[in-house]
C-alpha cells in the first residue's frame, strides 16, 4: 500500500489544470453499450475508478482502446455477457450505471450492490423504481445482488423520489431507446448529468430540458457513434481554490469551467476567499482576507449542501479545512450524507477547533494553526481535504490509505509537486 509523506508550511503557487469530471466520465463510458458503433471520448481522467469501469466494460464484451493519455475508444459491437466482474463492480458506485444501458441493449443484467465511498446509506431504491416503471423486472438474490431483465423498455412518466444523480443517469440511459416518450420529474441537473445528456444527443438521442429538473426524452430506435469531450471537474477546481487559500499560495487554474462555478465561488467569498475570472481561467491570489462573513444580523455563517445548483456535497470537506484557517465561526451543515463528517476527528488532532454537533453538523472556529499528525484517508473528498490540511500544517504528516485519493484525483502528488508541494509517495512499511 502506498502512503504520502507530506511536509507542510510551504505556499503552493503556479498553474494547474483540472482533469475531466470523474462523475461525468463514468456514465459517459457506460453509454458506449447503447450503440454498435465506435465512440471516442476525450479528457477522460486517468484514475482508479475510471480504470475499474473500463475493466467492467471489457468483461461485458466492449472493446477498449486507449488512444492517448486521456482519450479512450470504445466499441460495443456485441455484448457477450450480462454479468460484469463482480469483485470489481462491488468496489465502485459507478458500476450500477451499467443497469440502464445493459437493459436497453441486452435486455438483462446481473449486478452486485454498488461500492464506493463510505459516507452514509446510499440506497439504490430510486434506480430500481425508475427502471421498473420503464418495464424492468428485478430480483434481489440471497447474496445481495440484483438480477434485472425486460421484454422491452417502454417510455413512462417517472417521478424520482429524490434528485439522485446516478438514478437520473441510469433512467436517462434506459429511456433514450425505449419505445415511446419518457418524462423524468425531480431529475438531478448537476453539470455531469447535463454532460451525459449532451453526449447521448450527440449519439442521436432526443433529450430536452437539459439543465432543468424535468427531462423530456423521445425514444429512438438506435444510437450511433460519436466523439465527445468530458468537461472540467468542478470539484477538483474547488479543491484547488481551497489548496491555495490554506497554503497561502497563488494559483492560476486553467480551463476551470467557470460557467458551473457560481455557487462554489459564492461560498468561498463567504469565507473571505475571492477568485478572479479570466475568460475560462480562475486566478486565486495569495492576498486573501480569510475572514468568515457573518449572516445578516450577526447570525453564524452557514455553508450547507443541496442538489444542484446549490453547493455540492463533495466540497464540504474542503470547506471545513478552509474554515479552520479563517477568522470567525461557521456552521458546516451536511444534509445529504449522514457519515460524511465523521473524519473531522483527524482534523481536530491537527489542532483545528471543531465541535461535532451531530452526524450532519460541525461548528468550526478559526483561525487555528495546524500541526502534522498521522492521517488516514476515509474517502475521496475527505482524503483530499486532509491532504490540503497537511500541506498547510507545520511539520511532517504521514497519510495512509491514499488509494482513496487516487480513485478521484489523477497523479495528485506529481501535480502538486510542480506547485512547490513537499510530498512524496512511498511504500507503507
Half-sphere exposure of 349 (CA within 13 A, CB side): 12
Fold agreement (2-19+232-427, 22-229): yes
Whether 337 has a pLDDT exceeding 80, the answer reads no
Q: pTM of the full predicted structure?
A: 0.92
| CATH no., domain 2-19+232-427 | 3.65.10.10
Mean pLDDT throughout 25-34?
Answer: 97
Contact 145, 189 (CB under 8 A): no
pLDDT tens digits for 216-263?
999 999 999 999 999 999 999 999 999 999 999 999 999 999 999 999
pLDDT tens for each residue of 354-375: 999 998 999 999 999 999 999 9
Residue 121: pLDDT band by 50, 70, 90 thresholds? very low
Please state, for a pLDDT cut of 70, what percent of the chain lies above it.
97
On the 0-12 / 13-18 / 19+ scale of CB atoms within 10 A, 8 is buried
Confidence of residue 124 (pLDDT cuts 50, 70, 90): confident
Spatial distance between the Cα atoms of 254 and 357, rounded to a whole number of angstroms: 38
Q: How confident is the model over 296-308, as a mean pLDDT?
A: 86
| Domain residue ranges of the chain, discontinuous segments joined by + | 2-19+232-427, 22-229
Query: How confident is the model at residue 122, as a pLDDT?
Result: 47
Give the residue among 83, 23, 81 at the shortest CA–CA distance from 47: 23
Give the rounded percent of residues in the chain with a pLDDT score beyond 90: 85
DSSP alpha helices (H): ranges in 64-177?
86-89, 99-105, 125-133, 165-175
| pLDDT(120) > 50 | no
pLDDT for residue 138: 93
For residue 179, pLDDT over 80 is answered with: yes
Q: What is the pLDDT averaged over residues 95-102?
A: 94
Confidence of residue 194 (pLDDT cuts 50, 70, 90): very high
Residues assigned a catalytic role: 117
- Asked whether the predicted pLDDT for residue 281 surpasses 80, the reply is yes
CA distance 374 to 200: 45
pLDDT band at 115 (very low <50, low <70, confident <90, very high): low
Secondary-structure class of domain 22-229 per CATH: alpha beta
Q: Which is nearest to 399 in space by CA: 7, 113, 33?
A: 7
**Mean pLDDT to the nearest integer, 348-353:** 97
Asked whether 33 and 62 are in contact (CB, 8 A), the reply is yes
* Model confidence pLDDT, tens digit, residues 125-170: 899 999 999 999 999 888 888 999 999 999 999 999 999 999 999 9
For residue range 387-412, what is the model confidence (pLDDT) as tens digits? 999 999 999 999 999 999 998 899 99
Amino acid at each position: 500500500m502506498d502512503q504520502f509523506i507530506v511536509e507542510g508550511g510551504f505556499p503552493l503557487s503556479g498553474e494547474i489544470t483540472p482533469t475531466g469530471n470523474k462523475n461525468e466520465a463514468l456514465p459517459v463510458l457506460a453509454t458506449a453499450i447503447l450503440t454498435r458503433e465506435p465512440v471516442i471520448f476525450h479528457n477522460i481522467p486517468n484514475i482508479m475508478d475510471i480504470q475499474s469501469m473500463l475493466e467492467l466494460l471489457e468483461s461485458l464484451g466492449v472493446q477498449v482502446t486507449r488512444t492517448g493519455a486521456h482519450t479512450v475508444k470504445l466499441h460495443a459491437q456485441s455484448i457477450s455477457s450480462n454479468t460484469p466482474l463482480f469483485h470489481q463492480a462491488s468496489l465502485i458506485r459507478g458500476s450500477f450505471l451499467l443497469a440502464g444501458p445493459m437493459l436497453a441493449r441486452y435486455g438483462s443484467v446481473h449486478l452486485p450492490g454498488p461500492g464506493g465511498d463510505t459516507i452514509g446509506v446510499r440506497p439504490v431504491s430510486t434506480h430500481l423504481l425508475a427502471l421498473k416503471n420503464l418495464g424492468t423486472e428485478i430480483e434481489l438474490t440471497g447474496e445481495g445482488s440484483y438480477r434485472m431483465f425486460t421484454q422491452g423498455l417502454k417510455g413512462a412518466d417517472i417521478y424520482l423520489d429524490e434528485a439522485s444523480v446516478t438514478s437520473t443517469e441510469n433512467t436517462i440511459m434506459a429511456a433514450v431507446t425505449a419505445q415511446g416518450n419518457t418524462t423524468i420529474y425531480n431529475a438531478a441537473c448537476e453539470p455531469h448529468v447535463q454532460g451525459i445528456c449532451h453526449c447521448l444527443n450527440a449519439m442521436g438521442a432526443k433529450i430536452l430540458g437539459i439543465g432543468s429538473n424535468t427531462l423530456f426524452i423521445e425514444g429512438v430506435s438506435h444510437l450511433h457513434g460519436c466523439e465527445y469531450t468530458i468537461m472540467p471537474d468542478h470539484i477538483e477546481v474547488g479543491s484547488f481554490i481551497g489548496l491555495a487559500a490554506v497554503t497561502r499560495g497563488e494559483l492560476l487554474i486553467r480551463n476551470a469551467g467557470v460557467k458551473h462555478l457560481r455557487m462554489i465561488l459564492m461560498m468561498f467569498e463567504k469565507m473571505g476567499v475571492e477568485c478572479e475570472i479570466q475568460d475560462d481561467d480562475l486566478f486565486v491570489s495569495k492576498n486573501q482576507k480569510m475572514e468568515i462573513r457573518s449572516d445578516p444580523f450577526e447570525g453564524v455563517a452557514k455553508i450547507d449542501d443541496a442538489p444542484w445548483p446549490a453547493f455540492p456535497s463533495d466540497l464540504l470537506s474542503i470547506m471545513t479545512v478552509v474554515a479552520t484557517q479563517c477568522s470567525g465561526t461557521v456552521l458546516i451543515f451536511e444534509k445529504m450524507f449522514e457519515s460524511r463528517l465523521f473524519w473531522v476527528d483527524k482534523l481536530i488532532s491537527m489542532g483545528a477547533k471543531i465541535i461535532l454537533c451531530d452526524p450532519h453538523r460541525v461548528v468550526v472556529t478559526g483561525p487555528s494553526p495546524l500541526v502534522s499528525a498521522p492521517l488516514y484517508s476515509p474517502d475521496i473528498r475527505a482524503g483530499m481535504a486532509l491532504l490540503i490540511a497537511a500541506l498547510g500544517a507545520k511539520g511532517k504528516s504521514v497519510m495512509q490509505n491514499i488509494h482513496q485519493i487516487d480513485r478521484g484525483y489523477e497523479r495528485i502528488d506529481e501535480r502538486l509537486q510542480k506547485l512547490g508541494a513537499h510530498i512524496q509517495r512511498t511504500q507503507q512499511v
